[in-house]
Structure 1
Amino acid sequence: MDMIRVLGTLRMTDVELVGGKNASLGELIQGLAGAGVRVPGGFATTADAFRLFLQENGIEESINARLRALDVNDVVALAQAGREIRAQVEAATLPAALEGAIRDAYAAMTAESGGTEPDVAVRSSATAEDLPEASFAGQQETFLNVRGIDDVLRHVRLVFASLYNDRAISYRVHHGFAHSEVALSAGVQRMVRSDLGASGVAFTLDTESGYRDAVLVTSSYGLGEMVVQGAVNPDEFFVYKPALNAGRKAILRRTLGSKQKRMEYAPQGGVQTVDVPQDQQRAFSLSDEDLTELARQCVTIENHYGRPMDIEWGKDGRDGLIYILQARPETVQSRTGKTLERFELTGKGPVLVEGRAVGNRIGAGVVRVVRDVSQMDSVQDGDVLVADMTDPDWEPVMKRASAIVTNRGGRTCHAAIIARELGIPAVVGSGNATRELQSGQEVTVSCAEGDTGFVYEGRLAYRVNRVELGNMPEVGMKIMMNVASPDRAFSFAALPHEGVGLARVEFICSNVIGIHPRALLDYPNVPGDVRAQIDEKTAGYASPRDFFREKLAEGVASIAAAFAPKPVIVRLSDFKSNEYAHLIGGPAYEPTEENPMIGFRGASRYRSRDFAAAFALECEAIKSVRDDMGLTNVQVMIPFVRTVGEAAQIIEILGRNGLKRGENGLKIIMMCEIPSNAILADQFLEHFDGFSIGSNDLTQLTLALDRDSGLVADLFDEQNEAVLALMSQAIQAAKRAGKYVGICGQGPSDHPALAQWLMEQGIDSVSLNPDSVLGTWLHLAGETVPA
């Protein structure tokens, strides 16, 4: 009977011997060392050793009898039973054969370290752990910076005892594992000095949407337990796998976390938590090079296992290298079937708190603020659990909650993993939930609006749409989507689609960037208060100019990647002067116009000498997405082109800024939204690769209506005969020229009959709002929309 096994001798076939985590570490060392995946070495005690430990101390039967009689839904009884069983285990003696084997193995590690006793992590690995159907996230303990044989032996006993943590007992019962059939293996692994570097968690898919072509990485300074436990708001990154595999620039998105605390070695052994200096908080904890290397290792691991993976990693601050500390199958999105469930908030109310969204659901209930684990029994079924942070100790009551809200944590912490598995919406890393929310008040928690989760006052109405995603029926044109928000693109791409007919740059400029581009370019000369706001927004980027270019590129790339290889038509910025004036620094650069709707916007702005540098920055971002990341499915669309002469000028300006029509397959589309565009369609089409009809502006300009005025709103009708006549004229001109013509205005989303008419006219595509796609598609196919 083996008491221990060296990690490098293990494979995944050894799960019953050393548990999922330790078997996986062995698999990585044996199978992937040659592929550049770095894993610290060590050894693992066996399940046989654990069972011998229980038997020699005569505690196995008493423990199992106590657990058989326990009602795990009684949190008070659960806490008492867990506490007493753990005390039994901690007081027990390791069998002589096991202690001797551990001493020999640690002595061998010491010899490898040149005679210096190594600092190690002592981790738990349950024999039923990390099966594809069960996450066991954080159910047992991990101890860091353990040094010296006596400390190692003591922590092995503590790891054994952690099999009987309250949350572990509860989890096994709720997931159908018999206590007596689960054994524990202690993994003793050489420490990576990430206390001097950074660490975190990576998933080889998007945890919220299940999108498979991205690696999600969370990262913070110091030892990784801060990220895993949800005690810190980490940086967050998405890396695009196809670009990574092609050796291209691959970072899709970066989000700067606050990273206020760092876990490091304590002088007396063990670990301690310290504050992170402000300048480090305002910088990303991983360089682009480190992030790319980490993502490469993660993809290598995923390819080896043939399934999405959940990976813990660390960057050693001494040698600067990235190491893999754990790898296990991802357990939530992997089990998601082909039914699409979309939650949609229909009520409105004030936002009380916001943070990172976990899941895509909505929950409502009575707030229950819980300040420590001793108050868990106050949580009733359907309550909204609010806490500074949660850890796996809270799992027995998390399943009672309708939603969870925390001050601290990121989307890969234990609480987030468990919330996803339970199907509970969670808003983590809000910063102030325990201050802003009061026990007893009613709230609605929405994670259905993208990366940001919101807590609204009161119980708001919402609906749930469930659709079986089978093969969609054929219709006579392509159904595309209008997409504004990059952080919802992965979810929207799960809908049936033929690409994106309208991706709005101005949404990224206002909601993600939030600063007037000329203020960024003029940064040294802007007033002090504006400069302070710019400094706050641009933290982590080399310069204000880089911030604009990279954030815009990230937003466009996120949408393009989500829908690749289908076309994504990106409309360049179409702000009006009053909308630009609302951005930080905007008033200094914008004219006051009586009617901005037909003023300084669209192509006329791009031609302006005052706006030339800002427009060049926009073009740089688009060029980077296409050329550097290889997302050549991006097409460019120009709005509000008034004259044929202006059309020729714009094509020339785009070419000067690196966006040359036809180069690297670039198509340039024109918005057909002014009556002159339809009337002179043949001439405009000589300069462009096609039209996209903008029904909103075309209607208001044809009928001389201000679409923002409620006084004449009753006359606004995209199906007016004059509007239809111009649309038909544009469609027929494009067909004669053999060029693309689609529509991206609101009309077909609101009026399925208009979509039907457009199909009969021979239009190539209609681009709809995501919530209209399924209904309009089935309407056009003559089928009923599922309830």
Structure 2
Amino acid sequence: MNTEDLVLPLRSLRMTDVERVGGKNASLGEMLSQLGVHGIRVPDGFATTAHAYREFVRANGLRERIAARLARIDVDDVRALSEAGAEIRQWVAAAQIPPALEAAVRAHYRALVGAETAISVAVRSSATAEDLPEASFAGQQETFLNVVGVDAVLARMREVFASLYNDRAISYRVHQGFSHDQVALSASVQRMVRSDLGSAGVMFTLDTESGFKDVVLITSNYGLGETVVQGVVNPDEFYVHKPMLAAGRFSIVRRSLGSKLVKMVYDAAQRGAGGDDVRRVATVDVDDAQRHRFSLEDAEVLELARCAMSIEQHYGRPMDIEWGKDGVDGRLYILQARPETVKSRSPQQQTQLRYRLKVAKGASPTVLTSGRAIGQKIGVGRVRIVRDAGQMDQVQAGDILVTQMTDPNWEPVMKRAAAIVTDRGGRTCHAAIIARELGIPAVVGCSDATLRLADGMAVTVSCAEGDTGLVYQGCLETEVETVQRGALPEIGVKITLNVGNPQLAFDFQSLPNAGVGLARLEFIINNHIGVHPKAVLDYPNLDAALKLAVEKLSYGYPNPREFFLGRLTEGVAMIASAFWPKPVIVRLSDFKSNEYKKLIGGNRYEPDEENPMLGFRGASRFIAPGFAECFELECAALRRVRDTMGLTNVELMVPFVRTLSEARKVTDLLAAHGLRRGENGLRVVMMCEVPSNALLADEFLEYFDGFSIGSNDLTQLTLGLDRDSGLVAESFDERDPAVKALIARAIAACRSKGKYVGICGQGPSDHIDFALWLVDQGIDSISLNPDSVVDTWRRIAAARQR
């Protein structure tokens, strides 16, 4: 290629051409030529070069005018920045394209479209410093879709050149230390993928919040992908586990149904000012039937994830990828691929900051609105509602910026905010990306934030509680813990984690651990399903109101039963995939009847019990004929996780087994449902939490592969205490000699039979002397709450050294 080429076919480009056509266009060429063998489809096209842009600037005498205009502004002055940017863009858009460049564009356009006169193309931007790992210029320049005719292409090309001087682009270059002179623009012209008739979105080859690298995150909406990129909609989300995908397994570990209120489609009625066919797109409502189902089939999700893995492997780094599904040919296409620029740049530090709300026990702060959490921080301040870009300068340092959706050009004021809250948008939109770059917590896609919040209102924005971001009323007290993540000393016992919320699993896996000692199935049912299993199974016979409630929960799934089964499967799979291949012990649901009652439909099916702590729970519930179908649902979900998804690191734990008869019946029932001890490496352990378990430990171990000691229940049952009663709280102590005698007996029995024994109560983190005693007794593992892992580990190590 001639170094002075003005226009080049995308197929001729490689990543070595970044200086000539920018990272985005160089990447398109790289994928077109190198990744087709992996089944990756990229629309063909051509690109103008950085040399062409500089010739355009030189021929129109713009360089000196632009430099002089920018030299006298303060980019932190929003109004001055806006005025300067608008003036420069007007100069560029009104300039003439040099004859040689115009001729080259016309020639390449003819070669691209051939005899197809009505073909539509996309005109996109690619800055010469864009999409390098050290910077993210994403979303700063313009994209024009559904452009028809070479004259329209030339007109849009000028506007693409002008977009190099969008407000955010100017501000970003100044703050990143890029000289305006050093950055040039390349315009790509590509055949349009008819995603207006299909779907489109964005995918990342890591989890955007935790940085966990073993998943692909895919977002999707109907129609053109601009609605996802710009944050116009709350899209569908999918997580795919890379190791299981590589093993050929079904590997979608999570699906979240977005509201998808609108989509962007072609609209031939719209015309540009000059009568050309520019921007023939319109935003229209999505009908209810489409909104209530996922915009991608499972097979398409897996195909996209395979493409993402191939692209990541080729580039050798985490990637941010835009994709589109053509509604005419039904195929999936890759539209852009660039390095992910936030989590992949974060160094593996020895310390990590963890944010928490300090809320008094029993207190329940008022939640005003909620959405998708961006980042893991907490912001406190007063609400500043911004209706449009003209009000941006009202945002003061420390405000909570609340708006329907942000534009990339809002970056100069976004960095002033203590937090950002939007009505619309998903976790891969530009607002989310910018918030991550700036280290500002954001809650996007709330749907009603601008209605529920008022100017001047004091609020707390929490992104520290998982996937869901919460906006609380008032300025709540927060605390920041510095967690040491360096190498920890050997302490003679394995430290595992207690994990309830699957949404936090990707974050928790980064803590020092030997796996999960307790994953609570009831947390998943309570927080991610919300309906009683009998109401799901009895759906056709429910009254109208209850039936409607269950139906709404089940949107996106074939039927309510599949909703319950699918969500339970995904909840377990999220935790298992986060810690793969370390063992994850999943406890079967340990609801009491009063807790089951709180689920939708629960009042219809649960008995009134005076003391539910000692009532219909655990193994006795599982083997009861009236609960048989419900228990079968749990077993089916666990079987899917292990056998279909291949996450064989999942082990089972049966809670509250009172008698040997219950032990025999529940293990027989598990086997009948395809969960037989030893098959496919399955280990089934029992919660040792009833005194009878320790007293008859040898006999109980005939039915199980070990014990996990539940010190909370064991203490209350041994000492005859109600652990929820404050009147007798002072007497509750796991270190009581009677409790320790039972624990010692249980540990000794397991050791004599060569079986697993661990503990998952609160005692070891509260009392280091108790933890040391457990280690001396020969316990295999201590399972702790994540917030106490490092501190407890170091305290045990220090005590052992003494």
Q: Fold conserved (TM > 0.5)?
A: yes
Matches within 5 A, 1:137-176: 137-176=138-177
Corresponding residue of 1:315 = 325
1:346 aligns with 2:346: no
Match of 2:295 among 249, 268, 285: 285
1:745, distance to aligned residue in structure 2 (A): 1.2
1:67, distance to aligned residue in structure 2 (A): 1.3
Please give the alpha-carbon distance, in whole angstroms, between the structure 2 residues aligned to 1:642 and 1:325. Answer: 59
CA contact (8 A) 2:173 2:179 kept: yes
Corresponding residue of 2:83 = 80
Please give the alpha-carbon distance, in whole angstroms, between the structure 1 residues aligned to 2:568 and 2:28. Answer: 39
**Paired residue secondary structure (2:625):** coil
Corresponding residue of 1:125 = 126
CA contact (8 A) 2:230 2:429 kept: yes
1:463, distance to aligned residue in structure 2 (A): 1.5
CA contact (8 A) 1:351 1:455 kept: yes
**Paired residue secondary structure (1:781):** helix
The one-letter amino acid paired with 2:259 is S
Corresponding residue of 2:230 = 229
Please give the alpha-carbon distance, in whole angstroms, between the structure 1 residues aligned to 2:765 and 2:265. Answer: 54
Match of 1:45 among 31, 37, 48: 48
Matches within 5 A, 1:700-719: 700-719=716-735
5+ residue gaps, structure 2, are 270-276
1:187 aligns with 2:188: yes
1:522 aligns with 2:574: no
1:115, distance to aligned residue in structure 2 (A): 2.9
Corresponding residue of 2:338 = 328
CA contact (8 A) 1:134 1:331 kept: yes
**Paired residue secondary structure (2:47):** strand
Indicate the larger mover: 154-163 or 711-720: 711-720
The one-letter amino acid paired with 2:193 is V
CA contact (8 A) 2:484 2:790 kept: no
Matches within 5 A, 1:675-690: 675-690=691-706
1:784, distance to aligned residue in structure 2 (A): 12
The one-letter amino acid paired with 1:282 is H
Please give the alpha-carbon distance, in whole angstroms, between the structure 1 residues aligned to 2:800 and 2:493. Answer: 18
Please give the alpha-carbon distance, in whole angstroms, between the structure 1 residues aligned to 2:701 and 2:652. Answer: 15
**Paired residue secondary structure (1:368):** strand
CA contact (8 A) 2:491 2:800 kept: no
1:468, distance to aligned residue in structure 2 (A): 4.0
CA contact (8 A) 1:137 1:418 kept: no
1:338, distance to aligned residue in structure 2 (A): 2.2
Please give the alpha-carbon distance, in whole angstroms, between the structure 1 residues aligned to 2:483 and 2:107. Answer: 59
CA contact (8 A) 1:338 1:468 kept: no
Please give the alpha-carbon distance, in whole angstroms, between the structure 2 residues aligned to 1:119 and 1:302. Answer: 30
1:747, distance to aligned residue in structure 2 (A): 1.5
Please give the alpha-carbon distance, in whole angstroms, between the structure 1 residues aligned to 2:13 and 2:265. Answer: 30
The one-letter amino acid paired with 2:662 is E
Matches within 5 A, 1:204-603: 204-268=205-269, 269=277, 270-339=280-349, 340-347=352-359, 349-603=365-619
Percent identical among aligned pairs is 64
Please give the alpha-carbon distance, in whole angstroms, between the structure 2 residues aligned to 1:707 and 1:484. Answer: 20
1:346, distance to aligned residue in structure 2 (A): 1.2
**Paired residue secondary structure (1:636):** strand
Cα deviations by residue, 1:538-568 (Å, 9 ceiling, x for unpaired): 1000111111111111000100010111100
Alpha carbon RMSD of aligned pairs, Å?
Answer: 1.1
The one-letter amino acid paired with 1:249 is F
Corresponding residue of 2:273 = none
CA contact (8 A) 1:778 1:784 kept: no
1:300, distance to aligned residue in structure 2 (A): 0.5
Please give the alpha-carbon distance, in whole angstroms, between the structure 2 residues aligned to 1:334 and 1:63. Answer: 35
Please give the alpha-carbon distance, in whole angstroms, between the structure 1 residues aligned to 2:348 and 2:112. Answer: 49
Corresponding residue of 2:15 = 12
Cα deviations by residue, 1:135-172 (Å, 9 ceiling, x for unpaired): 11201110101001110000000000000001100010
Match of 2:737 among 718, 721, 734: 721
User: Aligned residues, how many?
Assistant: 783
1:780, distance to aligned residue in structure 2 (A): 1.0
Please give the alpha-carbon distance, in whole angstroms, between the structure 2 residues aligned to 1:386 and 1:452. Answer: 17
Please give the alpha-carbon distance, in whole angstroms, between the structure 2 residues aligned to 1:437 and 1:749. Answer: 40
The one-letter amino acid paired with 1:130 is D
1:753, distance to aligned residue in structure 2 (A): 2.5
CA contact (8 A) 1:86 1:162 kept: yes
5+ residue gaps, structure 1, are none
1:62 aligns with 2:65: yes
Indicate the larger mover: 499-508 or 101-110: 101-110
The one-letter amino acid paired with 1:281 is R
Please give the alpha-carbon distance, in whole angstroms, between the structure 1 residues aligned to 2:794 and 2:348. Answer: 18
Indicate the larger mover: 717-726 or 679-688: 717-726
CA contact (8 A) 2:231 2:406 kept: yes
CA contact (8 A) 2:772 2:800 kept: no
1:710, distance to aligned residue in structure 2 (A): 2.1
The one-letter amino acid paired with 1:455 is V
Question: With structure 1 as the length reference, what TM-score do the two structures score?
Answer: 0.98
Indicate the larger mover: 356-365 or 710-719: 710-719
1:783, distance to aligned residue in structure 2 (A): 7.6
Please give the alpha-carbon distance, in whole angstroms, between the structure 1 residues aligned to 2:33 and 2:514. Answer: 43
The one-letter amino acid paired with 2:463 is C
1:588, distance to aligned residue in structure 2 (A): 1.5
**Paired residue secondary structure (2:594):** helix
1:99, distance to aligned residue in structure 2 (A): 0.3
Cα deviations by residue, 1:737-780 (Å, 9 ceiling, x for unpaired): 11110001122232222212211111100000000100000111
The one-letter amino acid paired with 1:573 is S
Please give the alpha-carbon distance, in whole angstroms, between the structure 2 residues aligned to 1:41 and 1:750. Answer: 63
Cα deviations by residue, 1:61-119 (Å, 9 ceiling, x for unpaired): 110121122210111110010000000000000000000011111111121xx432420
**Paired residue secondary structure (2:27):** helix
